[in-house]
Amino acid sequence: MLKWRIKMKAKNDIRSFDSSQRITEISNRWFFAFSCIYLILAGFLSVCAYVAVKRVHSSAREDEGGRLRHAPRLRQHLRWRPWALAGLVGGVLIVCLLLVGFFALAVSISPNSPDNSSIMSEANVFHAKGVEAYNRGQNREALSYFQQALVIIREVGDRAGEGATLNNIGIVYKSQGLYEPALENYVQALVIFREVGDRAGEGATLNNLGVAYKSQGLYKPALSYFQQALVIKREVGDRAGEGTTLDNIGLVYWNQSLDERALNYFQQALMIRREVGNRAGEADTLNNIGNVYWSQSMYESALENYVQALVIFREVGDRAGEGATLNNLGVVYERQGLYKPALESYNKALVIARDTGNKLLEESILDNIKDIHHQEARNHLNLSKSWS
């Protein structure tokens, strides 16, 4: 009988943002633009002044002794070039207006201005509360916080922050099994990240699109998005993100019973997660490697990886991961006919499943325990018959 093994879910990339940093970036872009305009106009005015001076000198006449005889008044030399004077005066006025406009804009969008400071602070608070609620499994509250943050971010005009928040809203919808709105928000985020040139954000969103399609059993588009995400994560040097996407690709192959390919990607992910010190991610991948070995009936290798994963899950305080791995240990022990350690693992996993409110895991463990009792009863009956 095929026993229930728990694999780690494909991981989403939560995007964070700092509104004050985004506003500062906007201010810097405006400063650069106005600086360019100022330099262009300064150059134009210099040319106008040069032309005016040249015209003055060219209008002077030489006397019989070869000496220059200038007109007594400057206006006599410029009266036939009124555009030069108009250009000078108009240019000075334009520069003055641009400078005034720039400083007014700089003050209005400055992160230190009272209005924007309060707006940015409010957006950051909503976003942080959304992440906290999501990590506690409170998806409805997380969605509300992210949507409130999104309204503020759009008012400020922070496109990159808008993309990050849309991405996170998509993650919440996906966690609720609402794939259509999740995909809709991911696609909007992807468009914005590409528009503003945020390659890291683009890679994170492509990874999340892959997770959404994988969760629906659509492995071909999922693999395509994961591979696109992997290219970008390597391009931008996101080693932690690269490890996550490699692990997700391994899950796609494992779900299609392509064990060798899955194992290859899991091992690459494990190496990177150890390199960057991602202990929770390391445990996830060890658990997944254990599942591959279980599928190949390599029980000792499976146990070795499950035990390593269990130690790390306990170390980082991941109760859900601990419960899933204890269940997997019980499955391996049961398959080897070691019912006592199997029951010990199942009972420990059952306590955790009930503590964390994981009904699906609880039902699976209860079925596994029931199977062991039935098997023990059959074995006892067979032994009794053999003695009689």
Instruction: Convert 300-321 to b/e letters by CB count within 10 Å (16 or more is b).
Output: eebbebbebbbebbeeeebebb
Write the DSSP symbol of residue 12: P
Q: How many CB atoms lie within 10 A of CB 284?
A: 31
Query: pLDDT of 145-165, one tens digit each?
Result: 999 999 999 998 899 999 999
pLDDT at 1: 33
Q: Give the chain's mean pLDDT.
A: 81
pLDDT confidence of 124, banded at 50, 70, 90? confident
DSSP conformational letter for 177? T
**Band of pLDDT at residue 5, cut at 50, 70 and 90:** very low
Q: Could you tell me the CA-to-CA distances from 264 to 13, 207, 246, 254 in Å, in that order? A: 22, 19, 9, 11
Distances (CA, A) of 350 to 8, 50, 241, 323: 18, 88, 32, 7
Express as a percent the part of the chain with pLDDT over 70: 68
238 touches 203 (CB < 8 A):
yes
User: Are residues 251 and 270 in contact, defined by beta-carbon separation less than 8 angstroms?
Assistant: no
- The 8-class DSSP code of residue 160 comes to H
Q: For residues 310 and 10, what is the distance between their CA atoms, to the nearest angstrom?
A: 19
88-97: pLDDT as tens digits: 565 666 666 6
Determine the pLDDT at residue 49. 56
